[in-house]
Amino acid sequence: MKIQTKTCNAANYGGIRKQTRYLVIHYTSNNGDTAKNNADYFAREALASPASAHYFVDETEIWASVPENCVAWHCGAKTYVHPECRNTNSIGIEICMNGADGRVREGSITHAAELVRELMQRYQIPVERVLRHHDVTGKDCPAPMVQNIARWNAFLDLLKEETQMRYQYYEDMPDWAKPTVSKLVKKGYLKGEGDGVLNLTEDTLKVLVINDRAGVYKA
């Protein structure tokens, strides 16, 4: 996947982030804009009310703006509806979603899904931690995916198509798997790769849980 870079004006983003646990989806809300338009604007302007995103995506291009290891100011708020997701632990992706006629550009959404899948793999982020801006702060963003939940669900389905999730750490695993994994770690059956890294696929977790429920690990 080709990603071009035009670094955001330093006034519009923050310092180094220590972790990446969430991916947050936004839309630019402008009709007919492009990823490059947005990258150019945020590189040129020092905004009075700083805002930024790590990536801008349209149907043909992806532009990196804020470096991935830095804090982009994309989902900050005075109050939150999500208990954990913040600017400091998330990557923000802005989709140029509206066409010149105001209609949704499906190509931009599909292209964004390609980028999100790559980021999910790189940071070992399950689809459950891919959120809309709306899910973090309650804002009507991305509006086409807030006002039409079917469109959001379709986007999530695109992320599941080619993603075999791997869980590196116990805390990131789904709740249904944690009792089994905890038991197996305590028994010494699961030792991982050191430093708490278990690196288990979702399919592996399912097999372990089925075996546990069948009494395989009682001894």
Q: What is the pLDDT of residues 169-187, one digit of tens each?
A: 888 889 999 999 998 888 7
- Residue 162 has what pLDDT? 57
d(CA 60, CA 69): 25
d(CA 55, CA 5): 9
Under-70 pLDDT residues of the chain: 161-165, 192-193, 219
Closest CA to 104 of 150, 53, 156: 150
Reading the block at residue 171, the tokens are: 């805390």
Handedness of CA 180, 182, 188, 189 (dihedral sign): positive
Spatial contact of 20 and 90, defined as CB atoms under 8 Å apart: yes
- Residue 161 has what pLDDT? 64
Residue written as tokens 């097999």? 207
Tell me the pTM: 0.75
Say which residues have a Cβ less than 8 Å from residue 56's Cβ, sequence separation at least 6.
28, 35, 36, 38, 39, 62, 63, 65, 94, 96
